[in-house]
Every structure is written in C-alpha cells, then in structure tokens.
Amino acid sequence: MLRSIMLALSCFIVFIGLALPAASQQLIPGDAFLYSAIQTLPSSLLRSFFHAVTEAGSYKVLVPIGAGILFWQRKHMHRMGFLTLYALGIVPLEVWAKLAIARPRPHDYLGLAPLFHTSHGFPSGHALAAAAFYGMLLVLLRRDIDNPTWQYVISGGTFMLVLLIGVSRVYTGAHWPSDVLGGFALGGGYCILAKAMYERIERRCDTLQDGKEGEPS
C-alpha cells in the first residue's frame, strides 16, 4: 500500500511540475521540437494508423469496452461497484484539470487553423483516459491470468497501446507532448491509487469468503 501511495505521489508531482508552466501558457523544453518532429512525418499510412489509434483513447471506444468489462465482472458485485465509481471519476478529473490549467491547444497557441476542439489542451484527455482505463484493465487481466509469459505479453501490449495513443495526439496536432505527459501522469497516478484500494478490497473480500467457508455447517 505504501509503495503504491509513493508511486502515485511521484506521478502527481510530475503532473504538477508540468502543470505549472502550462498554467502560465509556457512550453517545457523540447515541446516545440518534438511537436514539429512528429508533425513532419509525411506518410498517408502513418496518418491513417494514428487516426485509428487515437480512437482507442476516445470515450466512444472506451465506454463500450467498459460496459463489456462490467458484464465480465457481473458475478462480483463489489468489483462492479468499484469499477463503476472508478470510471465515473475519470471524466470530472479530466474536466477539472483542463479548466484549472486552461492552456490552449497547439493550433490556437501557434495561431493556425482551428482543429474544432472546444476544450483546453492540458492535460490530454485521451492520454489521461487511456492510462487510467487500460491501466485498470491490465490490473484485472493480470489478476485472472496466472501464466507469467502471457502477463508479460499483455502488459507490453497495453503499455504500447497507451504510448501510441499519446503519440497519436501529437501527430494529429491535438496536443503538445507535455499535454500528453501530463495526461499520463494524472491518469497513471489515479490508476495506481485505485489499484491499491482495489487490492485491499479484494483481500478483505477473500478473507470474508474464507471465513464463511471455514464456518461449521
């Protein structure tokens, strides 16, 4: 529990470190360079790929997957309740952070053509939701899969997907790299804290179940 709290605190410290210059409408060193470097990758194949990947971090994809996860966990009411509250907390977390920092998106910042985004840029909502959502999905999958090889494969695939979602937000011009890092830090910290609570609840439920099974009939 203490390790999870310290790790989550580290994520929140990173978020605050990125949020302070963002709130002052400043970029961190390397922001403009990385943005320009990723933007200048001319490839119709890459464009199609990243436009598809970015959808994996959107709520129109995450909500149906979330509904499927709840159906998967339907036999465990305590998990369903916890996961529902956890998922409902992601949206206000994103909205409040964006309103508090209020940094424009790159096209607004650079005075270029609008991208039809009505929300602020920091933190990236896609990056935040991807880290929080797929991070918790990974926790659930690793609990139910005992094979170490498959655990490594699933973990690696999940991290790669989340990373690519972040890169896609820069490639499509929706965010600065620091917006994405801020989303990862805030979503990751939220997920780590929730994971610690989830594991504590699971241990308590397992203890109660063992106690019931040990009672004389």
Q: Which pLDDT band, with edges at 50, 70 and 90, does 208 fall under?
A: low
Contact 129, 57 (CB under 8 A): yes
**Residue pLDDT, tens place only, 181-191:** 999 999 999 99
- Dihedral Cα 85, 87, 91, 97, nearest 10 deg: 80
> pLDDT at position 125, please?
93
Q: Which pLDDT band, with edges at 50, 70 and 90, does 199 fall under?
A: confident
> pLDDT at position 26, please?
86
Domain boundaries, the chain: 2-204
> pLDDT at position 183, please?
96
Closest CA to 93 of 127, 57, 60, 118: 127
Closest CA to 36 of 176, 166, 180: 176
- DSSP designation for 184: H
**Residue pLDDT, tens place only, 35-79:** 988 888 777 888 889 889 999 998 889 999 989 888 888 887 888
DSSP notation for 91-108: HHHHHHHHHHH-PPPHHH
Is the model's pLDDT at 15 over the cut of 90?
yes
C-alpha 141/C-alpha 33 separation (Å) is 37
Contact 130, 161 (CB under 8 A): yes
**Residue pLDDT, tens place only, 84-137:** 999 999 999 999 999 999 888 887 666 565 555 667 889 999 999 999 999 999
Higher-confidence residue of 214 and 142: namely 142
Closest CA to 20 of 101, 123, 128: 101
- Tell me the pTM: 0.88
Helix (H) or strand (E) holding 30: none
Contact 4, 192 (CB under 8 A): yes
Evaluate the omega torsion of the peptide bond into residue 123 and state whether it is cis, within 30 degrees of 0: yes
Is the model's pLDDT at 210 over the cut of 60?
no
| 3-class SS of residue 183 | helix
Kindly give, in sequence order, each residue whose CB lies less than 8 Å from that of residue 158, ignoring residues fewer than 6 positions away: 134, 135, 137, 138
Distances in Å between the Cα of 141 and the Cα atoms of 31, 124, 138 are 34, 25, 5
